[in-house]
Amino acid sequence: MLKRLFGKSPKTHTLQVEPFGANITVGAKETILMAALKAGLPYPFECQVGSCTSCKTRLVEGKIKALTDFAYVLEMDEIKDGYILACQSLARSDLKLRVESVEDGVAPLTVVTTNGTISSVRNLTHDIYELGITLDETMDYLAGQYANLRVPGVVDGRSYSFAEAPSVGGTRGLVFHIRLIPGGEVSAWLESGNVLGASVVIDGPHGVFWLRHSDAPILCIAGGSGMAPIKAILEKAIQDKIPRQVVYLFGARTQGDLYALEEISAVESKWTGKFAFSPILSDEAETSEWRGDRGMVTEWIAKQSGLELGKCHAYLCGPPAMIDAALPILKEAGTHSKNIHFDKFTDRSHTEN
């Protein structure tokens, strides 16, 4: 009562965050993620609503209040080992935290904000556009990450994955794949005809979806514009001369929804190890000339006889329903949860991907 009457400030706590070597302050009503971002840490995050696990953090010491039930997205073993979601955690004491996703042999990149100009626009399918942007200054990113795009006065911030491998020394020309959403702001803008030459603001890079160092076989599963980050990862792996076995399952509705086939064919021709690409159609007419695989892309995971799922690293990108269906199949097949990396393309957290 007295605290309310005299306006005493809410108690703050100190967060010791590794591997950043940072000590930051968090307010009573701030989540750990909010405090970290406010302090300028390149903290991994994506959805901010507790569904993607990108901000998964190990609580080494201290007490927190969970805003949601972590059991919806974390394994019970992970919860027992002290893992929390930074976007859904309030500090109730001083904390020691460790963000293990940035310890995979990759140094965190600085998030920058820069202006750019739309330099190219083209249709890839009936509902996916390719957008080329020339930046005023270079941006460093990891293949698989994403950036936020804003069109001043037209479109608020939207998130899109980089569709090409980064250039050495920084990239000025960015490429994104954007899926049209009925009634979406970006969709209306793309179809307005007032896109080429438009000024945009880009901030990034963001996300923890990138290829981890290992010799393990790679299983890629993508749907729709989820092709973009997977293609970028594979192109970067060619640059790095990575010889690991790859099986890439790409789900689409019909032949008209398939795209980037020439680019993936080029990847396959340059790959130094085993490489198998399988487009799978879920809604192709039975009377069509299609002779490839049919069904839901997730139905084909367990059918990969040439790939030992228990030893592979899985990279999934696309619609949440696809990823949610794939996760239990992979885990049942013995793929360890720490070796499953995914990026869910939802309408607001990854708006209009």
- Give yes or no for a contact between 205 and 232, defined as CB atoms under 8 angstroms apart: no
- Where do the H-state alpha helices sit in the chain? 2-6, 32-38, 76-80, 185-190, 227-239, 261-270, 320-332
pLDDT(276) > 90? yes
Read off the pLDDT of residues 217-271 as tens digits, 9 standing for 90 and up: 999 999 999 999 999 999 999 999 999 999 999 999 999 999 999 999 999 999 9
Residue 292: name the closest of 318, 261, 322 by CA: 261
Average pLDDT, the chain: 90
State residue 281's pLDDT score. Answer: 98
CA distance 241 to 1: 65
pTM of the predicted model as reported, rounded to 2 decimal places: 0.82
Read off the pLDDT of residues 283-299 as tens digits, 9 standing for 90 and up: 999 999 999 999 999 99
Three-class DSSP category at 288: coil
Read off the pLDDT of residues 70-90 as tens digits, 9 standing for 90 and up: 988 888 888 999 999 999 999
User: Which domains does the chain possess?
Assistant: 10-102 (3.10.20.30), 112-206 (2.40.30.10), 218-344 (3.40.50.80)
